[in-house]
Amino acid sequence: MSSGHEGVALFLVIVLTLPSRNATERMRAWRTLKAWGCAVLRDGVYLLPAGDRAQRHLDDLAAEVRAAGGQAEVLSVLPQIEEQHARFCALFNRDAEYAVLLGEIEALDPVGLDLPHLRRAVRSLRRRYDALTEIDYFPGPDQGAVGARLAEAEAALAAQLSPGEPQAQPEEAVIAHLDAHAFQGCLWTTRRGLWVDRLASAWLIHRFIDHEARFVWFPAGEPPPPEAIGFDFDGARFPHVGP
């Protein structure tokens, strides 16, 4: 006879009450539970997927509630059937929060905003996105979609902060395995304006690939030397891949 527990996972529940006169402690507890991404089963009953960190969080909060004159217990709950498990998981749905973030990302104007405001806006969105993914216990497609759109906004910001820098190729781009012996005594080239990526790339080439490498730095707006192997610029033999 089946137990009916196949395909379900354990949850933790904190059941708490605080004296109505202790409004400060009630608000603090509510904000803490919200920050942890707890789902609300009913007033005073909050749910988290089971785990060591969740156990520590809820145990600590229960102790604080009791110290403040309230009552609190932390219980383990195993959904009886898969449908109940699905209902519990649905309580953690973050689609609406991702939709808000996506709307703000889409509303960014990389041209109209001055760079300091744009940089602050993008950094704020990144912090909020990372905080949201931290409590997105059952992520769906919205997490990846919003993350990709945010990465595009960050790339647009980087293009303004560092004009002329190469654009990264998609991470899924195929990177071929090459034989270093085929790249000996070569002339290598990249654009002038030697930021850390270009300097580090030149060091890597000389140290690990071509010990007799020679380098030439060509000016922006001019074509690279046709006989040279390009790196770290758009159209180079060796461009950026991924972030």
* pLDDT tens digits for range 40-84: 999 999 999 999 999 999 999 999 999 999 999 999 999 989 999
Kind of pairing between the strands at 45-49 and 11-17: antiparallel
Note the Cα 172 to chain centre separation in Å: 18
- In the predicted model, what is the mean pLDDT of residues 129-148? 94
Q: Contact 57/72 with Cβ under 8 angstroms?
A: no
- Look up the pTM and report it: 0.65
Between CA 1 and CA 127 the distance in angstroms is 49
Confidence of residue 2 (pLDDT cuts 50, 70, 90): very low
* Pick from 235, 217, 230, 38: nearest CA to 135: 38
- The pLDDT of residue 3: 43
54: left (phi over 0), alpha (psi -120 to 50) or beta: alpha
